[in-house]
């Protein structure tokens, strides 16, 4: 498969990925998929710009978990910032739990 190889350095580790046009990705899908299964990361360009990344499934699962953690961190930071702006707008967890249990008992 005719692809350009690039190195991206993260700390002391080099992450190697390949770049392919969307036309070649379409016509060489089987070869591209084989390269990804072998552990390569592939960037697909469309009109000369990165459009998609194709990565091994295990890498996807790890990234998905990291993204969920990042989302949780951002939500926590936003809640903390809101609390700092207006501390009276929040309630104690114990009060919320009590309300939830009371609502559940009334069903």
**4-55 belongs to which homologous superfamily?**
YefM-like domain (3.40.1620.10)
The full set of domain ranges for the chain reads 4-55, 59-105
32, 36, 42, 46 alpha-carbon torsion, rounded to 10°: 40
CA atoms within 13 A on the CB side of 68: 6
Per-residue CA distances from 106 to 12, 67, 93, 99, 103 (Å): 59, 38, 20, 11, 5
User: What pTM does this model have?
Assistant: 0.59
Q: Do 54 and 45 contact (CB within 8 A), yes or no?
A: no
pLDDT at 106: 75
Give, for all 107 residues of the chain, the pLDDT tens digit: 545 555 554 555 566 789 999 999 999 999 999 999 998 999 999 999 999 999 999 999 999 999 999 999 999 999 999 989 998 888 888 988 998 888 777 77
45: exposed, middle or buried (Cβ count in 10 Å: 0-12, 13-18, 19+): middle
Helices (H), the chain: 22-27, 29-37, 57-85, 93-105
């Amino acid at each position: 498969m005719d692809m350009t190889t690039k190195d991206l350095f993260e700390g002391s580790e080099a992450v190697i990925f390949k770049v392919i046009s969307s036309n070649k990705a379409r016509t060489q899908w089987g070869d591209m998929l084989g390269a990804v299964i072998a552990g390569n990361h592939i960037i697909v360009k469309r009109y000369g710009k990165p459009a998609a990344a194709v990565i091994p499934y295990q890498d996807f699962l790890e990234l998905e978990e990291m993204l969920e953690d990042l989302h949780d961190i951002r939500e926590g930071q936003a809640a903390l910032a809101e609390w700092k702006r207006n501390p009276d707008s929040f309630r104690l967890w114990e009060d919320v739990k009590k309300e939830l249990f009371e609502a559940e008992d009334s069903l």
